Structure 1
Amino acid sequence: MEPVRRKHHLGSVWRCVFLLSLLLKFGLTGDCPADARTWVPFQDRCYHFVHGEEDKIKSYTFERAKSLCQGFELLTIQSAEENDFVIKYSPEVWKGNVNVWLGMFYDTSSEDMRWFGEDPVGFTNWEESSSPSDLMPLDTCVTLHSNTGKWENVSCQDEVENGVICEIVQTEEAKQKPSALLSALVVLSVMAIMGISAVIWFLSQKHNLGSTIFTAFEYHPPFRVLEADQSCLVEAEETDSVP
């Protein structure tokens, strides 16, 4: 049973190393709202992946999605890295494929798509079969498919989707925190975990080596060579004394 426990412990250690590497890769730093929601920081923003208490995927209209994020923003995607973060983190919250509402609308003034924060749409990831002109301008909304990361135009009025993500910009204090500090903490944590793993491996090897040495040097009584020689001398003396 001992090797099994050691193997299980080492597996847990390596899972911790993997999670720490994800923290470093995604840059999960900074301050997020201290409310009852679970916020996930990434770069200079925080994200709340909406899910039901019973851990079941629900359906939401576009208006319902906006009301769930009241006081915050619906998800906006500004870069390929942010798009990649969303599709990689989604399985941590939802089971199966999810279509996530994006906070995008058709601006009739500029005749182009814009984010609700009035930011222009720079990065896009449209499906080949989808384009901003597929629907009537005032009924054009956008959803992101969690399995592919692609965007699709859908009706704001008729469509219901099963994914809602709220976001907010981190505080200025959080954005000014040096990322080098996080990197140093993660590296030190990984080194500590690796050190613990090395100690466990050394102790297991020492235990196995000790058993082998003990077996190799198993006690055997010495040969009684001296007594045999003495017996031969006695016999020789008796032979010499015979007339």
Structure 2
Amino acid sequence: MFKNTSKPPTHSYHHPLPDNIEYRSSTYKVVSGNMSWYDAMHMCTENESELVSITDAYHQAFLTVLVNRLDAPHWIGLYSQDSGINYKWSDGSDTVYTHWDAFDEDDDDFVTGECVFMDVNGGWRRADCETPLTGALCHIPLRSSKPFVLHETSCPSTWVKFGRGCYNFEPVVEKLTFQESRIHCKQKVNTSDVLTIESETENRFVLEQLLSSGFLHRTIWLGMYFNVDTDSMAWVDGSPTDYTNWAGKGPDTKLLTADTCVTTRLVDGVWHLSTCGEQLGFICKTISDVTTEVEVEPLNGLHHGVIPAAVVVAVLIFALLAGAMWFLYRRNPARFRGFPSLGSAYYRQTNSQSTESDGNVLITDLEAHSGFGRPKQIKKCIVYSFICIK
């Protein structure tokens, strides 16, 4: 469907690809089979890798050759959460570098696509996240070679990572009220809460996970409730409510009460109002970019206070030496006339005769080094005050 047949690839693989493909300290994997973008993400995860992010022209060129030889478009880790306005990498990499296909802007089939693939010519193109492609590009995250780590960022064990979020699908089989569900999530991870959904892409990800697990006919809690203080629907984590998926128009807030919560049906992902006292399953969610400090040993066994103390001592010694020099200079300036940094041209004099003498010396020095005679009018500059007089 997406294959560019106008220019067939000049090479093809006659032998199976190796499990790991190395290039410039990066390790890539290629996974194959009809798959949506969500399938691709999970296949990469099963292979202990992530959907590839491309952040510079060197790796773009390498992957262009690879996909061209594979002779088929492959999913990459770029996706949108705001209907194609902005795109981000699924592993959180920066999005400064891009390589969009020139034809992408002119192809109506992909303009609203929220997921991105690399075509056989290397260009990035958009498509619906459910579109089946024949493969995906994965990369194995670099492991730090440093003997110590200052911060760690990851999802808890058994949680699934998607974008910045971590999701726990185990409580789908529970039967708890809305408030009990929130307590249950916080007991698992104190920063988690009942599922919030901020985009269509995230909504599809959740449905894909649940449908593949056979939970087709279940209804689960969403982390949305009616806030009586603001007379509006609100997410439990304070996220903006820009994205919604109601069956029809949004609910009339004039008819809602403090016992109004929101559920979603897995068969279609549509949102419905429910009383908060019902007992349903749910999903827990937390944000994965919360960093945790890891205590490390000081380098070479030194106490962490040694270096700051040494700096303080050095500053004190320098200050004492400077004070001593200043004191000696004030006592006997004649001894320091040989030092240019303390010469009369840079030290403020209070005697007017000395000032005039300094000005003449500077003018004489200028004449000697410039090769020009004294002009008819010249300004004598008093150095210490930066004021020039005729």
TM-score by length of 1: 0.54
- How far apart in 1 are the matches of 2:230 and 2:76? 34
Asked if the contact 2:198–2:239 (Cα under 8 Å) also holds between the matched residues in 1, the reply is no
1:34 and 2:156 aligned: yes
- How far apart in 1 are the matches of 2:225 and 2:262? 8
- How far apart in 2 are the matches of 1:92 and 1:99? 15
Taking only aligned residues, the RMSD between alpha carbons, in angstroms, comes to 3.1
Q: Which structure dedicates a bigger proportion of its chain to helix?
A: 1
- How far apart in 1 are the matches of 2:41 and 2:169? 22
Asked if the contact 2:264–2:270 (Cα under 8 Å) also holds between the matched residues in 1, the reply is yes
Asked if the contact 1:135–1:155 (Cα under 8 Å) also holds between the matched residues in 2, the reply is no
- How far apart in 2 are the matches of 1:97 and 1:26? 32
1:65 to 177, 181, 185: 181
Q: Secondary structure at the match of 2:181?
A: helix
Q: Secondary structure at the match of 1:138?
A: coil
Q: Secondary structure at the match of 1:84?
A: helix
Q: Relative to structure 1, is the Cα distance of residues 142 and 58 closer, same or farther in structure 2, using a 3 angstrom cutoff?
A: same
Q: Secondary structure at the match of 2:202?
A: helix
- How far apart in 2 are the matches of 1:26 and 1:48? 24
- How far apart in 2 are the matches of 1:100 and 1:122? 21
Q: Which blocks of at least 5 consecutive residues in structure 2 are unaligned?
A: 1-30, 45-50, 52-74, 78-89, 93-152, 292-390
What does residue 208 of structure 2 align with?
88
1:124 and 2:244 aligned: yes
Letter in 2 for 1:169: I
Shift of 1:137: 1.9
Q: Secondary structure at the match of 1:65?
A: helix
Aligned pair count reads 154
- How far apart in 1 are the matches of 2:76 and 2:210? 14
Shift of 1:16: 9.6
What does residue 279 of structure 2 align with?
160
1:76 to 190, 196, 210: 196
Once the two structures are superposed, the pairs formed by residues 1-243 of structure 1 within 5 Å of their partners are 14=32, 19-20=39-40, 22=42, 23=44, 24=51, 27=77, 29=91, 31-35=153-157, 38-51=158-171, 57-70=173-186, 71=190, 72-128=192-248, 131-133=251-253, 136-157=256-277, 159-161=278-280, 163-171=281-289
Asked if the contact 2:155–2:161 (Cα under 8 Å) also holds between the matched residues in 1, the reply is no
Asked if the contact 2:171–2:284 (Cα under 8 Å) also holds between the matched residues in 1, the reply is no
Q: Secondary structure at the match of 1:69?
A: helix
- How far apart in 1 are the matches of 2:262 and 2:205? 18
Asked if the contact 2:159–2:167 (Cα under 8 Å) also holds between the matched residues in 1, the reply is yes
Q: Secondary structure at the match of 1:153?
A: strand
Spell out, residue by residue over 1:14-46, the C-alpha distance to the aligned partner (whole angstroms, 9 max, x if none): 5598854654369564743334xx111111111
Asked if the contact 1:141–1:156 (Cα under 8 Å) also holds between the matched residues in 2, the reply is yes
Spell out, residue by residue over 1:153-184, the C-alpha distance to the aligned partner (whole angstroms, 9 max, x if none): 00012x222x31111111267xxxxxxxxxxx
Asked if the contact 2:232–2:253 (Cα under 8 Å) also holds between the matched residues in 1, the reply is no
Q: Relative to structure 1, is the Cα distance of residues 86 and 113 closer, same or farther in structure 2, using a 3 angstrom cutoff?
A: same
Q: Which has the higher contact order (CA 8 A, sep 6+)?
A: 1
Shift of 1:122: 1.0
Letter in 1 for 2:246: W
Q: Which blocks of at least 5 consecutive residues in structure 1 are unaligned?
A: 1-12, 174-243
Shift of 1:50: 1.9
TM-score by length of 2: 0.35
What does residue 213 of structure 1 align with?
none
Q: Relative to structure 1, is the Cα distance of residues 132 and 147 closer, same or farther in structure 2, using a 3 angstrom cutoff?
A: farther
